Amino acid sequence: MPWWGWVIIGSLLLGAELFVEAEFFLVFIGVSALATGAVAALAPAVPDWGHWIIFAVLAVASMVLFRQRVYRALRPQQVPGIKADYVGDELDLPVALAPGGSCRMELRGTTWELRNAGAAMLPAGTRVRVTAVTGVELRVERAGG
């Protein structure tokens, strides 16, 4: 394959990463194709099978060695321990909550589902404490009690 064929394939793979959720695999395959195109342009005496070996080695090595680190750096997951940061927070209930009842409330810029984890009715305006976080739900109980 001519050097420009590798460049076209690499460019298409890099572009496809923007439209397909491939979890960063296409980036490394695309960069490997671009690098193979550079080798093909700078060393035209290398046979086609040599280009394919270079491409395969670069693609596999880059994915094994770098993909996970780069993926985590560019697409960080939820920060570990962030759920624990909410436990112990106190807030005032916007509405009354029966035992097991729930409502929606904004806390620290995020909308949460508050659920009364206690056995008693909580009137509106009651000061409550977050006791647990489950998904997008904050379990609350009367503060100080």
DSSP string, the chain: --HHHHHHHHHHHHHHHHHS--TTHHHHHHHHHHHHHHHHHH-TTS-HHHHHHHHHHHHHHHIIIIIHHHHHHHS--SPTTHHHHHTT-EEE-SS-B-TT-EEEEEETTEEEEEEE-SSS-B-TT-EEEEEEEETTEEEEEETT-
- 141 or 74: which leads in pLDDT: 141
Q: Which domain holds residue 131?
A: 82-142
| Same domain, yes or no: 31 and 66 | yes
How many independent structural domains does the chain possess?
A: 2
| Same domain, yes or no: 92 and 126 | yes
Average pLDDT over the chain, rounded to an integer: 87
> Among 45, 74, 103, which residue terminates a domain?
74
| Same domain, yes or no: 64 and 7 | yes
Mean pLDDT of 126-145: 86
> Among 47, 74, 101, which residue terminates a domain?
74
**Distance between CA atoms of residues 95 and 81, nearest Å:** 29
| Same domain, yes or no: 93 and 136 | yes
**How confident is the model over 46-89, as pLDDT tens digits?**
999 999 999 999 999 999 998 888 877 776 555 455 556 788 88
> Among 74, 95, 121, which residue terminates a domain?
74
Q: pTM here?
A: 0.53
| Same domain, yes or no: 69 and 116 | no
